[in-house]
Chains A and B, each alone.
Chain A
Amino acid sequence: MRAALAVVSVVLLAGSGAVVYKNFQSDWQSTQKSYFKQALVQVKTPAERAALEARQPRIEQTIVTAFGTQRVDRCESCHIAADDPKFAAGKEPLRAHPYSSAMGDVFKNGRWERRHKFTDFGCTACHDGQGRGLDTEDAHGVASEWPEPLLGYVVQADWDKNASKHLRDKDFIEANCVQCHTDKNFTGAAWVNRGRDLYFSKGCFGCHKIEGLSSGSLGAELTAEGTLRKVDFLWAHTVNPRDFTPTSIMPQFKLSNDELKALTIFLKSLRGKTNAEAPTDRYKMDVSTTPPVPLSVAEVDAQFKAASTPAARGEQLLHGYACISCHKLSDQDGGISPDLSYEGLIRDHDWLMAHFRDPKSRIPDSNMPAFGLPDADFNDMSAFLLTRTTQPPAMTPAETFKTLCARCHGENGDGKGTSAIYLDPAPRNLTNAEFLISKPESRFLTSIRQGVGGTSMPPWGKVLNDDQIKGVFDYIATNFAHQQRHEIKPRKVPDTNPVAFSPASAARGQAIFLQRCIGCHGRKADGKGPNSVDISPRPRNLRNSAFINSVGDRRLMESILYGIEGTPMPSWIDYGLSQDEVGDIVNFIRSLNTGTATKAQASASNTGGTNGSINN
């Protein structure tokens, strides 16, 4: 025991010694010593030499309170030569921070004078990083915990590899420049400005909200995105949103690397609150030296008035509001939303106006935002769209399908066209032969000719003549369905609901619905039951009034009683539902969709109300 005690005691002494030794061997201490040594070589006067020799390593610290929160920057403990011109060509960390006239540094009397003095600004205000840290790992924010790694220099280990390689670039620091230089056209932050332009030209503003810039409500609010996210997320999420949120409806924009960089820098610059709101005026660039760039409202107005007709104005608006970043119009294609090229043949003024004011009033599950623009603008845009009445040239059925249908239904008819994922209900999978042969041909022809209510399937009746429609359908039947159509046995289904509509009947229907149907159609009958995600095609939204009101009782009854072939909807007659019970269910479904008109009005007036408050 005595020997063991002696051994551990000696170990303890050694351990304590190691701890003490380690404490006085930090990076910053040795860095400073090497700085003194190198500086000693260049001294001229004995006094300077004596002063240098007397210096001991110490923590150099700048406390900056001017930028909102207190910043404690100890960067100069290692970067001790940051302000020493003799180390202009030195190696990091013993290197002078470069001087740049673009940054406002002035060369005077043979000496550079900084615009942004380190004593006033510190380091992290521009560079990010962790000012209190004293070793590289901590201070530069290399470890993945740190929310603000050195902007444009440090890439954290868990970042997306594809994004990381673009993120080492000192241009990213511009995101911090604009925290003080808030004027919109600040030339020092060209990337931020370009990003802001892209934010509008790519139509991001339609869905996202940034306080003071846009008020979209469909996507996430981006007002303080820069404080919540690091650059890797901003980059990679913009490249493919569904990598992060599988359910995201954000389109995958095709952006060049430069555009991504500009957007990333712009988004990183969004902090919810800039330093300009803190009392930092003394640090602000003299704004009067940069010429005030007017938004040239007058110019825009003049140009606008020159466009004489509403339709011409509408065209300008359509481009101005970046509709084409989602929609297709002639040869321009955003690749996300429906083709507007034949809008004049497909829709009328009332439909367009109602849809503009609230897209959900016509297509309840549409993901198009209600933009809340003045009615006059909608009017003009509607007028323009109604001029799109040129029919497509005569084409073979195959060409017709490719031109008009493939965008949604896919080139192979599998319902996976480029814009399919943005549509709800999803486009029909036309290779689903079981479904296609179970319904009479007339129903499909009608769907093409008149469209399907409440969905993005438009009425093609005025675009295509009956022969062309028949041709397209035959093309689909032979090329995708691959199954011979056969005689469809008539089923025993009453033409009208055998149960008269009454609240009692609807209540009974609801009881059955809650028992049998909510697994797929959901408790709210909106087609989003717990099983719905695993089902293809997705369960019908039974609150889609435009659709439900466009189909007759017979079809609803038949679908419930006998199921729908090629879909997971089972035949409920097999599960013991009687015709009367199904009648009750139909009454229940109808009862969900009676308030369409009032609802549409209500939402329209809502939109108006919001407009009013915004204008106020």
Chain B
Amino acid sequence: MEAGSKTAECEANKMPRRDFLAWLSGAGVVGSALAGLVATFFFMKPRVTFGQPNRFLIGKPDDFPAGSRLAIDTKRICIVRDGERMAAISTTCTHLGCIVAPSATGFLCPCHGSQYDVDGNVTGGPAPKALAWYSVSLTPSGELEVDKDNEVQMGTYLNV
């Protein structure tokens, strides 16, 4: 093993190059792994779903007479038309997820007696917060589209 010291010298010279190569390899492998993780994240996140869509058409504004408050239970929303303004209010109780029913004073939950006013503010019962409002927009073909992925501030109306 006379060559031992010589090898050591050589290795010492090689060190910066080796470090660089190691860094490059490490960057490549770790970077690819990260890219793989990102890809897996997007892969796992469905871009379409096959259940009840969160975005749907509910008809033309004319279908809703002025002053009407029409609950659509299958979609769990209530369409409110106030003059020329329209909005969609959630009918899912913020307490434990029952379907609230529109009443003369607003909304009533049949399960635990939560009460809301016409805008969805809590007026009684165990409900912790107000009913959500969803964005309503007009499609180019003139139909109303509700997007339950898009909550808006209470009192945001669509002018029709």
Contact = CB atoms under 8 A, between A and B. Distances in A.
A–B contact with Cβ pairs below 8 Å: the answer is: yes
B10 interface: no
A46 to B, nearest CB: 12
Contact of B48 (A8, A20, A39, A74): A74
Nearest to A39: B140
Interface in B113-155: 137, 139-142
B25 A6 contact: yes
Given A23-B42, A58-B47, A61-B48, A86 B21 contact: no
B18 interface: yes
B111 interface: no
Q: Size band of the A side of the interface? A: 20 to 34
Interface stretch (B33-41, B68-76, B80-88, B94-102): B33-41
B160 to A, nearest CB: 12
A74 B27 CA distance: 39
Given A51-B137, A119-B57, A10 B24 contact: yes
A495 interface: no
A595 interface: no
A161 B58 CA distance: 47
Contacts, number: 74
A68 interface: no
A11 B56 CA distance: 45
Contact of A83 (B25, B32, B50, B141): B141
Contacts of A2: 18, 21-22, 25
B140 A83 contact: yes
Q: Size band of the B side of the interface? A: 20 to 34
Nearest to B31: A13
Contacts of B35: 13, 16-17, 19-20
Interface string A395-430: 000000000000000000000000000000000000
A9 B21 CA distance: 10
A114 B21 CA distance: 65
A157 interface: no
B12 interface: no
Contacts of B48: 59, 61, 74
Interface string B8-27: 00000000001001101111
B140 A6 contact: no
B58 to A, nearest CB: 10
A59 B47 contact: yes
Given A58-B47, A59-B47, A72-B50, A12 B39 contact: no
A172 to B, nearest CB: 26
A84 interface: yes
Contact of A85 (B26, B137, B141): B141
29 contacts: A5-B25, A6-B22, A9-B27, A9-B32, A10-B24, A12-B32, A13-B32, A13-B35, A16-B31, A16-B32, A16-B35, A16-B39, A17-B35, A19-B39, A58-B47, A61-B48, A63-B53, A74-B48, A81-B140, A83-B140, A84-B139, A84-B140, A85-B140, A85-B141, A86-B140, A87-B140, A109-B62, A114-B141, A119-B56
